[in-house]
Structures are given as C-alpha cells and as structure tokens.
Amino acid sequence: MATIAVGTMVALLGSTLPAWSAEPVTGTGTARSDRAPRQIEAEPRPGASTVGLSPAQRKKMLSVAADSRTATARSLKLGEREKLIPKDVIKDADGTVHTRYERTFAGLPVLGGDLVIHERGGTRTVSKSSPTTISVPTTKAFVPAAKAEKSALDAAESKKTDKASPEGAPRLVVWAGSGAAEPALAWETVVTGVQEDGTPSSLRIVTDARSGARLGSFEQVHSGTGVSQYSGTVQVGSVRGGDLYQLTDPQRGGHTTYDVSAGGLGTLLTDDNDVWGDGTPADRQTAAVDAAYGAQKTWDFYHDRFGRNGIADDGVGARSRVHFGDGYANAFWDDLCFCMTYGDGLDDARPLTELDIAAHEMTHGVTSATADLTYSGESGGLNEATSDIMGTAVEFFANSAKDVPDYLVGELADVRGTGKPLRYMDEPSKDASVKGTSQDHWTEQTRKLDPHFSSGVANHFFYLLAEGSGKKTVNGIAYDSPTYDGLPVAALGLHNATNVWYRALTRYMTSSTDYAGARTATLQAAADLFGVSSNAYEAVGNAWAAVNVGPSYVNHIAAKAPSARDSAVGQPTSRPIEATTTRPGALTYSATGLPDGLSIDSATGLISGTPTSAGAFTTAVTIRNSAAETRTLPFTWKVLASGGDHFVNPARFDIPNWRTIESPITVTGREGNASSDLKVTVDLIHDFIGGQVIHLVGEDGTALLVKDFVWDTGSELHATFTVDASAIPANGTWKLRVTDNTPGIFTVDPGYLDSWSLTF
C-alpha cells in the first residue's frame, strides 16, 4: 500500500514529420524546430479497444487458461518443475487475448516470476517479469524460519515500524524479483504494525534461505443524493434496509462506506432520509459522501473508458472507510481488506477524501490486480505514479465545477496545511519538503528513493505526453513544464495519453518493471493503438526522453550516443550504438574521427578494436534509415596512454550482489616476470567497500590477494596496493577479480569497478 502522506508524498510515430520537427536534414539532427509544439491528432485503432467481459465470461476464460496451463508452460519451454497460475485476462476488439500468470517452482510461489501471454490467432508473444529460467539447486532451506523471522522484525525496526509482529509463519518462496542476478530460495515474512505517520503497516520481507541476506522489503499498505466537502452536491448510491438507508452502491458491485472512528471494521453509514452530509466536516456523513462519490466516479471511469468491471475486474465493489485515526493526514489502500481508508487530516477538518486522492487509492487496487508493481525501487515509483496518473484522469473524467480538473494532486485537502498541492505533475520538484523532493527526471539515484519521490519521473512523463512542454494554461491554471534535454515535446492529449498508460499497465508491465521497461511497455501500447510509424508513437518516445529515459526521435531516428567513458591504448574495447527508427527497413551506420585502431560495423553500429594512440578524438556517428534520413551523434572519445610501465583499463564493470566480476588488462612489451612490488591501483564504488574481496589473476591462473574482507563501511575505494607477482610472466592478460562478500545482515545496492591499473 502506498501512502499519500504529509512528507512522504510531498507531495504523480511516422511517415510524416512530427509537428515540432524541421524539414529532413542530413547534418547533425540534434535539435528540433523552435516552433511551439502543438497537439498531435491521433485516433486509436478500433481493434486495440478493450472488450468488456462479464464476471462469468472472465471466470470462464481464466478457467480455460487454467486447464491448458501445462501445455502453455511446455510451449514456453519452462522447466518441468515450473507451473503457471492464471491471474487475469483481458481481450481486445481485434481478438487478442492477454493472459497474466503467476509462476511456481516445485510448488513454491515465484516472486517476480509473473508473465503475460499475448495471443491472437496462431501468434503468441510474452512479456516476462524475469527473463531467467526459474530454477534453484534445492528447495531445502539452510537458514531456519525463526532466523528469517528475526531478520524481518529487524527490518521493520529499521523502518521504525511500531507494534511490529509477524503475521503468520514465514513461507518458503523462490525469489526472482528486481535485482536478482539469478533465482534464489528464500523466506517471505509479513510483519504488521504501524508506520511513523500512523498508517497501518504490512511489510513483506524476503530473506535468502541460503545466506540469510535480506533480498528485499516491500510495504503492502499503499497510502490513497449527498453534499460533499470537495465536489458539492452529488448523487451517491444507497439501499433501503428496514427504516434506514445504507450507504451501499448497488450499481457498482455493492460498494460500501464505513465509519471506523470507533475502531475495528467500522460501522456502515446509515441515514433516515437518504440525504447525506451538509458539506462541512462537522457533519460526519460529509466525508463519507466524498469517499462514496470518489469510489463511484473511479468505478465509472474504468468501466466507461476501458470496460473494466470494478477494481479487480470481477464485478465486486470495494469498501471505503472514513474517520480513521486522530488528526491523521493520510489515506491508504489495503489489498487484504480490498478497501480505501481515509483520515480526517490536520485538525480533523480536512478529510483526505478529495476525488483525485480517492481515485489514487482505488488505482492501487487496479495495479495490484494487474501488473502488481513491487512497491520498492523504480517499480515502486511506477506504482505510485500510476495512482497519480489515473487519479488525475478520473478528476478530468468527473469534470466537477467545484473540484476543477487539474494536474495537481491533493490541492483541495491541503494535507500539509500549507495551502499547496501534494504533487505537481508538470514540474514534480516543486513539492520539495523536509521529507524529500520528487524527481523531474530519471537519475541513477531514482531506484533508491521512496516511491512517492521517484514517481515524479513518470508523473512528469505523463503530463508532457498529455499536454506537451512549455507554458500553457489549462482550466485557469498556468503550467510551464521543462524538459531534461531542452527539446520541446508535442502533446498527445489527455485521453490518448491515458489510453497508452492503461494499456501498458494492464498488458505489458510486470511486477519488476523499471523506468526503461515502462518506456518499452508504453511504446508497445502506442504501437498497438496508433502504429509504429505514427507521430503518436514518437511522441511517447520523446516524452520519455524529456525525463531522461531513453533517446528522443529526430528525423524519425531515436539514438543514444555510446558511453563517454575513456578507453586506453592497447586495451581492446567495444561500444554499441543503440538506435531505432519508425521507418521500415534497416539502419546503416558510419563514423568519422574514431580513435586510431577502431572501426564501426555499418550494419550493427558496433564500434570495436584496440586503440593504438592516446588523445581526445572528436568523433561523430551518423545513422541513416531507409528513407535516407540521418541523425548524427557527435561526442569526444578520450584514449588514455597505456604501456611501458603503466597499463590501465578505465572500463566500468558492474558488480552484482554476492557475485564475482573480472576486468582484463593486456600487457605487452615487457620482458621476463613481473616485479615483487607490482602496484595495483583500484577505483571501486560500493555501499560496503569492506565486503569486496579483490584478487589479481595472472594469465596462468595464479591469483594474488590484493584486498581481503575488512569491517569497513565506506562507500568508495581509491587506493594503490603492492603485490609480489615475481613468479608470473609480465606479458599477457591480467585480470582484476572482485567478489562481493557483503554480509547478509546488510541491504546494499550493487556497486561497480570504476577503473584499475598496473604499474611495473
């Protein structure tokens, strides 16, 4: 469950030239026209629309999928011990069926093993959460359940969870989630309690059953006719029960609204004349009216726009609970009770029942029932952003005169008491507070942030896709959205942008989707809706480029310049050029100014070879598509001197958690053996430097210890070590071997070897 909280949520293409593009050119192609971008006219393909399934039809299709799951697993070449469990199914108007499956191994749930099969006629494609084959050497745990439970309680304590206690015994699972180098047998423990701000906590902790290392921890509580406080006089569903009316909506799956001020499950709201609330917080029914209205509009939005029959698409209504806590300025969704819970806000006078917050919380339920994005790292940011995106779309769908639609989240509830919104989708960083700041664009730190702040990347993408960049006024509110690359972005329109996001969420995203994966998923959704050669497709790519996720399209070519890292004389190197085009046919590549000794493959764009001279080379790679349109990527390629007494490899090598990597250096021109005081200089970045064990390995396989395990908690190593290599020939390929031996009691991010060198 993701909290909309004070502090934590301080805060959400083509055969013709794009509207912002200049005429085709053959020069650098690095800038678009200065003309203001306009909205792209795009009509979705009828075949990509969703066919509404009744609960009975959906149940039957899932039953058919369950009956054929063995044959399906075999067709996917899954292992004999792997099984599929159908979770969800969606059908498109063109007959394409998208079936989402969970996976098990030897009867154990596979966390991060979910996949979606897309079938039409005899064609089948698959979107996988984990590309690896699911297999573990043994299903017998070396770490006892009691130790895993203690580790889970320690994790809850580190997150300052109050009243923490295990919910049942740990269960054995296979972990294949985000960051897993390979599947691992693990314990999953759920610890309940209370978060710092008073929100209930249901913390899921995954512990390696072999080493005891903590593999991940995820919060499952996602925090977000009557007279309402925020939307004026509205219609709410009710039923007559004896002499009283009950706040139960019979047209929307029996959605019910409860008052939980007395604790427990709460009391169903009733009234004697079916006129609810008076528009003020003094009347306890008022918050219930806002909650019921929010649930109603959210149900209608998903039903009318996408044919979705309720949050879980099963025709069953959720539950809303109001008046939670005392001065509780928060709201949250809980999958376990299938309910939204709302506090009354600061001074118990600003309930968190504003429409976009209500839709935000219910959308956490939609995400859980579909992609089930893990609530940590980048997938957590996407989970939180999905709720902001759809909450905003619901607000525009409702089009209330009192709660005028905008790209601000929680602007009426005034959760922090500052008179400002929780989030600004056009420029997320405007929500800065003592708790943090939402990101305007992706950085390498994104995966380390709280999902409420990493969500800014997707919120900004969505705003740019819907409305475009630059200054504009929407419903009386002025926006001025910047872009990371300084290039303008043309608008696809709110309706089409919402269609793209929902389709990507329900068809192509999986539990471990990150921002790069979200770009792929939304581009695929745009291809389904508008075609790969459409301006709409390119608009999606350019909106992502504007938040630093992937390259932009210029002259219908999206391309990313190769790594700007240095190379070294005498050390083999290779760098790919990543490029795609919306034109049919293949791309061709050429280059000028490459370092001496390097060349480019005209068909693949791979630059490779061994540099023969040092210097800073002004290089340019030109990419040409089948329409003779070109894009040129200029960059400077620096080659370091390497040879004589000093040899260096400046290439970066990532170090997966608890794995080993090797970086080579080729030594030539030396005579005899190496010296007894060979100098090994290492530049290494890692959250736990002390756990990195380093060896120097000669060409004959002899391994010399450079650095052993030490209890050093630093995060950077820049040092020169002396080793006795006098028994090893100097010439040949030497390797620096780095093994991550971080103790399992620590949760760390993967590090990397930045560079290393030998001095004879």
Rounded to whole angstroms, the Cα distance separating 327 from 324 reads 9
Rounded to whole angstroms, the Cα distance separating 390 from 406 reads 12
Q: Cα-flanking dihedrals φ and ψ of residue 550, to 5°?
A: 80, 170
Rounded to whole angstroms, the Cα distance separating 501 from 507 reads 10
Contacting residues for 228 by C-beta, under 8 A, at least 6 apart:
234, 277, 279, 286, 289, 290, 293, 353
What are the helix (H) ranges across 102-158? 145-158
Angle at 476 between CA 473 and CA 477, to 5 degrees: 60
Question: Of these residues, 98, 441, 452, 556, which one is catalytic?
Answer: 452
Check if 98 is active-site. no
Q: Cα-flanking dihedrals φ and ψ of residue 662, to 5°?
A: -135, 130
- The two three-digit tokens of residue 523, written as one number: 């581009």
Rounded to whole angstroms, the Cα distance separating 734 from 675 reads 14
Check if 361 is active-site. yes
Angle at 503 between CA 497 and CA 507, to 5 degrees: 155
**What 3-state DSSP class applies to 303?**
helix
Angle at 449 between CA 487 and CA 488, to 5 degrees: 10
Amino acid sitting at position 453? F
- The two three-digit tokens of residue 494, written as one number: 């709110």
What are the helix (H) ranges across 424-476? 451-454, 456-467
- Any idea how long the chain is? 760
**What 3-state DSSP class applies to 454?**
helix
Q: End-to-end CA distance of the chain, in Å?
A: 57
Rounded to whole angstroms, the Cα distance separating 64 from 67 reads 5
Neighbours of 324 (CB within 10 A): 24
Task: Calculate helix-pair angle for 456-467, 515-530, nearest 10 degrees.
Answer: 20
Give pairs for 230-235: CB < 8 Å, separation 24+. 230/290, 230/353, 230/354, 230/355, 230/402, 230/403, 230/412, 230/413, 231/290, 231/293, 231/355, 231/398, 231/400, 231/402, 231/403, 232/279, 232/400, 232/401, 232/402, 233/279, 234/289, 234/293, 235/296
- In 3D space, the residue among 540, 483, 555 whose CA is nearest the CA of residue 31 turns out to be 555
- The two three-digit tokens of residue 446, written as one number: 């994104």
Quote the radius of gyration of the chain (alpha carbons, Å).
28
**Where would I find the beta strands (DSSP E) of 34-183?**
50-51, 82-92, 97-105, 108-111, 115-120, 123-128, 162-166, 171-175
Neighbours of 11 (CB within 10 A): 34
**Strand (E) or helix (H) holding 516:** helix 515-530
Neighbours of 514 (CB within 10 A): 20
Question: Of these residues, 149, 188, 219, 361, which one is catalytic?
Answer: 361
Give pairs for 241-246: CB < 8 Å, separation 24+. 241/270, 243/272, 244/270, 244/271, 244/272, 245/270, 245/271, 245/272, 245/273, 245/274, 246/270
**Where would I find the beta strands (DSSP E) of 351-466?**
408-409, 423-424
**Strand (E) or helix (H) holding 499:** helix 494-503
Active site residue ranges: 361, 452
